[in-house]
Amino acid sequence: MWGRSPTCPPRFMKITLVSLLAASVFVLTIAAQNTPDAHLAAAKAAAGDDFQNLLQFQCYGPGPGGPRAAAGAPRSGPRAAGPRRSGPPDRSTWHLDPVKVFDNLYFFGQSEYSAWAITTSQGIILMDTLFDYSVEDEVADGMKKIGLDPASIKYAVVSHAHPDHDGGARFLQEHYGTHVIMSPADWDVLEKRTVGTKPKRDIEATDGQKLTLGDETVTLYITPGHTPGTISSIFPVKDHDATHIVALWGGVGLNPDPEPVRTYIKSAERFSEIVKQADADIILTNHTDWDRSKINLPELAKAPVTPNPYIVGNARVLNFLKVAQECAAARVLASN
């Protein structure tokens, strides 16, 4: 005769059964949400009205998962341009005047590509160096135009080994003795590249490295995915009497191969935690489309704006990274 176990009363068995059923429903719900459409929905929610250009580029532009053209979505950004021409493009298509963004941060970039200069008590740290054809015009001449000396560029941090960011580094080395910093993995990529102007191998960045010059410190993080050794960074800027924290995401676009995109997702997740701990309230990138620079820079060029439009708060900085991460996840799943 079967009897009841003295250690397992009926009420306990009912509670256990209910708990198991609830856990199963939870697991099934999570599994059901791990779909391209679910990740796209999460990306759209995070983008809101702030990061629509990023959303369209990451979720529907180049990358794994085949073409995913958004209905009526604008094809914006440098990668959506027509076929490349031989030789440098006409200056009228890319030149921008320099803009003072914060008390110690300046934009010396092009219409599509950004170079950010951090001024310190002992010189300048330049974040990215543009193309070889534009660095003298935008960076060197741009600094002279607003009273800065390009010879004081002590360090140039190159976010990743692509010509739109590393092409101008050789000019800075040769003319001003600037030290160029890249990750070891991207120095290796650069050395294998057979075309384009390349800097001489110089300083190798380490993950979590603190680059201090005078009264400013930039913390460098290796965030692979866009390239094998993409560098993202955290640094303070001054806005009158207030200090704000910048998160500079080093590489936005997705590779066609799903494997580096999976690495990209992990890097975005990790950098989000770093951003949260740093309480970063400003997001910058090295392309003017993704961080609203095409909107913010013309405003700041006219006159000082209060509050500064780049100060968006930690939640919106995290939303930027959420868009990048969720779009990448959708693209990987769509490619399976």
**What are the backbone dihedrals phi and psi of residue 318, each rounded to the nearest 5 degrees, phi first?**
-65, -35
Type of residue at 71: A
**Per-residue pLDDT at 144 exceeds 50:** yes
Task: Retrieve residue 81's tokens.
Answer: 């341009």
Mean pLDDT, residues 55-59 taken together: 96
Give, in order, the Cα–Cα distances in Å from 150 to each of 23, 95, 109, 144: 61, 18, 14, 7
How high does pLDDT run on average in the chain?
Answer: 89
The whole model's pTM is what?
0.87
Residue 123 lies in a domain: yes
**What pLDDT, in 10s, does the model give residues 215-251?**
999 999 999 999 999 999 999 999 998 999 999 999 9
Full domain range(s) for residue 274: 93-335
Mean pLDDT, residues 165-194 taken together: 98
Under the banding of pLDDT at 50, 70 and 90, the label for residue 8 is very low
| CA count, 13 A, side-chain hemisphere, 282 | 24
Q: Is 311 helix (H, G, I), strand (E, B) or coil?
A: strand
Residue 127 lies in a domain: yes
What is the C-alpha separation between 77 and 56, in angstroms, rounded? 10
Mean pLDDT, residues 260-276 taken together: 98
**What pLDDT, in 10s, does the model give residues 30-46?**
434 799 999 999 999 99
What is the C-alpha separation between 30 and 159, in angstroms, rounded? 35
pLDDT at 87: 81
pLDDT at 260: 97
Residue 233 lies in a domain: yes
Question: Which of 62, 67, 70 is closest to 44 using CA atoms?
Answer: 70
**What pLDDT, in 10s, does the model give residues 296-314?**
999 999 988 899 999 999 9
**Per-residue pLDDT at 198 exceeds 90:** yes
Under the banding of pLDDT at 50, 70 and 90, the label for residue 78 is very low
Give, in order, the Cα–Cα distances in Å from 302 to each of 92, 100, 333: 20, 11, 44
**Per-residue pLDDT at 293 exceeds 60:** yes
**What pLDDT, in 10s, does the model give residues 82-100?**
334 568 999 999 999 999 9
35 versus 18: the higher-pLDDT residue is 35
32 versus 190: the higher-pLDDT residue is 190
pLDDT at 295: 97
Q: 292 near 114, Cβ under 8 Å?
A: no
pLDDT at 303: 87
**Per-residue pLDDT at 21 exceeds 80:** no
For 160-257, where are the alpha helices, taking DSSP H only?
Answer: 163-166, 169-176, 184-192
Omega within 30 of 0 (cis) for the link into 74: no
pLDDT at 52: 97
Q: How many domains does the chain have?
A: 1
**What pLDDT, in 10s, does the model give residues 97-132?**
999 999 999 999 999 999 999 999 999 999 999 999
Residue 79 lies in a domain: no
Mean pLDDT, residues 54-83 taken together: 63
Residue 319 lies in a domain: yes
* CATH of residue 265: 3.60.15.10
Q: Where are the beta strands (DSSP E) in the chain?
A: 99-102, 105-107, 116-120, 123-127, 153-157, 179-182, 203-204, 209-213, 216-222, 231-239, 242-248, 282-284
Residue 327 lies in a domain: yes
Residue 213 lies in a domain: yes
Under the banding of pLDDT at 50, 70 and 90, the label for residue 18 is very low
Under the banding of pLDDT at 50, 70 and 90, the label for residue 67 is low
Side-by-side strand order, sheet with 209-213: 209-213, 216-222, 231-239, 242-248, 282-284
Mean pLDDT, residues 194-216 taken together: 97
What is the C-alpha separation between 126 and 216, in angstroms, rounded? 12
Task: Retrieve residue 19's tokens.
Answer: 């708990």
Give, in order, the Cα–Cα distances in Å from 9 to each of 1, 12, 19, 21: 18, 5, 16, 19
Mean pLDDT, residues 7-17 taken together: 47
Side-by-side strand order, sheet with 123-127: 99-102, 105-107, 116-120, 123-127, 153-157, 179-182, 203-204
Q: Which residues contact 253 (CB under 8 A, 6 or more apart)?
A: 57, 58, 61, 62, 63, 79, 226
Q: 50 near 309, Cβ under 8 Å?
A: no
What is the C-alpha separation between 134 and 132, in angstroms, rounded? 6
Residue 36 lies in a domain: no
Q: 247 near 278, Cβ under 8 Å?
A: yes
